[in-house]
């Protein structure tokens, strides 16, 4: 099926090499721009993609069935293709409020002088980026509570860390099912979407080229995490789940994975908080080095 603009089609696992080549050249800083992330969320957001000259175009459907867009990804300058995409949303598919969401600062620098465009920051989508060394050492007073939780866990249980491989996939799914049952994921579209995305990640773990880690207590997976390299010096954490009945697992799985799974990274991007207050507090408690700011772009 031809997906040259304005033809769009679903994302398939076979598309991985096309996306990875473009992303490798682009060297993204925003967490959205990995093939694995787009693939596992493709059903929840109803992603469709197209190619226009040197750019990948990505659109998704909102709850009312109207198309919105992510930024074009490819070489500068993207002003003309950005205008083209917004005009297609408005006239081609009759979207009432055409918008590009989660646009990174690089795109904004390319388009912000155009008076026909309105740019606004999207704080709920800012990515939290940390120094990998800080997440490993957890040194100083500001990380004392994290160290205390980890030390108590290690004194209480016989804990083992291992890299995630196919022998742990079923146990990771079991832990995720337990996590969702406790939080009634079926009644929350956001949690249900995440549940489905995690299942996709675990099902296609080897094919997606990601990496992960697990915490084992008595041969049971009590925490797992999955990430990958986002660019040449930054890793991104897509998934992190732990048994809520055992305190200290979240800081431990984060620390161990950063130490043993992300050796090539200087920075670690732990994605956004989506405007959820508890998630925002948790991410701030790790003292981010900086944020990756994201913006919406509309026609005036």
CA distance 234 to 242: 24
Pair (219, 93) in one structural domain? no
Same domain, 87 and 163: no
Structural domain harbouring 37: 9-126
- pLDDT, tens only, 222-271: 999 999 999 999 999 999 999 999 999 999 999 999 999 999 999 999 99
Establish whether the linkage from the previous residue to 203 is cis, with ω within 30° of 0.
Answer: no
Q: Structural domain tally of the chain?
A: 2
Among residues 102, 126, 150, which one ends one of the domains?
126
What pLDDT sits at residue 63?
82
Residue 82 and residue 179 share a domain: no
Q: Using 50, 70 and 90 to split pLDDT, how confident is the model at 46?
A: very high
For the domain that residue 197 is a member of, what is the CATH number?
Answer: 3.40.630.30
Q: Would the pTM count as exceeding 0.75?
A: yes
pLDDT digit string, tens, across residues 267-297: 999 999 999 999 999 999 999 999 999 999 9
Q: Provide DSSP, the chain.
A: ---BTT--EE--GGGHHHHHHHHHHH---STT-SHHHHHHTHHHHT-EEEEETTEEEEEEE-TTS-EEEPPPBSSSP-HHHHHHHHHIIIIIS--SS--EEEEEHHHHHHHTT-TTEEEEE-GGGPEEEEEHHHHHH--SGGGHHHHHHHHHHHHHS-EEEEE--GGGHHHHHHHHHHHHHHHTGGG-HHHHHHHHHHHHHHHTHHHHT-EEEEEEETTEEEEEEEEEESSSSEEEEEEEEE-TTSTTHHHHHHHHHHHHT-TT-SEEE----TT-HHHHHHHHTT--SEEE-EEEEEE-
Widest distance between CA atoms in the chain: 63
Mean confidence (pLDDT) of the chain: 97
pLDDT over threshold 70, residue 1: no
Residue 183 has pLDDT above 90, yes or no: no
Q: Are residues 138 and 243 in the same domain?
A: yes
Query: Residue 64: which pLDDT band, with cuts at 50, 70 and 90?
Result: confident
Render pLDDT for 12-34 as a digit per residue (tens, 0 to 9): 999 999 999 999 999 999 999 99
Instruction: Compare 62 and 109 and report the one with higher pLDDT.
Output: 109
Give the C-alpha distances (Å, rounded to integers) separating 13 from 65, 75, 156, 255.
24, 24, 42, 31
Q: Tell me: do 92 and 218 sit in the same domain.
A: no
Examine the domain organization and report whether 99 and 208 are in the same domain.
no
- Please check whether residues 21 and 65 belong to one and the same domain: yes
How much is the pLDDT for 251? 97
Q: Is the dihedral of CA 104, 84, 22, 109 positive or negative?
A: negative
The pLDDT confidence band at residue 174, using thresholds 50, 70 and 90, is: very high
Q: Are residues 84 and 189 in the same domain?
A: no
């Amino acid at each position: 099926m031809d997906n040259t603009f304005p033809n769009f089609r679903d994302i398939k696992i076979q598309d991985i090499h096309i996306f990875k080549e473009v992303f490798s050249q682009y060297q993204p800083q925003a967490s959205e721009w990995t093939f694995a992330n787009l693939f596992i969320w493709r059903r929840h957001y109803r992603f469709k993609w197209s190619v226009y000259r040197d750019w990948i175009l990505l659109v998704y459907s909102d709850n009312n069935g109207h198309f919105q867009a992510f930024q074009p990804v490819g070489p500068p300058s993207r002003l003309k293709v950005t205008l083209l995409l917004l005009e297609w949303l408005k006239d081609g598919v009759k979207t009432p409020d055409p918008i590009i969401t989660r646009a990174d600062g690089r795109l904004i620098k390319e388009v912000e002088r155009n008076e026909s465009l309105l740019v606004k920051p999207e704080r709920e989508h800012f990515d939290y980026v940390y120094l990998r060394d800080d997440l490993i050492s957890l040194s100083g007073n500001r990380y004392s509570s994290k160290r205390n939780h980890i030390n108590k866990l290690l004194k209480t249980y016989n804990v083992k860390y291992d890299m995630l491989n196919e022998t742990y996939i079923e146990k990771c799914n079991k832990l995720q099912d337990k996590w969702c049952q406790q939080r009634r994921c079926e009644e929350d579209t956001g949690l249900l979407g995440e549940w489905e995305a995690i299942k996709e990640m675990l099902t296609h773990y080897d094919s997606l080229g990601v990496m992960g880690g697990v915490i084992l207590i008595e041969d049971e997976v009590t925490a797992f995490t999955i990430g990958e390299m986002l660019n040449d010096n930054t890793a991104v954490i897509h998934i992190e789940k732990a048994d809520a009945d055992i305190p200290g697992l979240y800081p431990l799985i984060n620390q161990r994975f950063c130490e043993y799974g992300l050796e090539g990274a200087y920075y670690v991007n732990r994605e956004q908080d989506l405007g959820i207050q508890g998630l925002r507090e948790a991410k701030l408690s790790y003292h981010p080095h900086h944020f990756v700011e994201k913006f919406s772009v509309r026609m005036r």
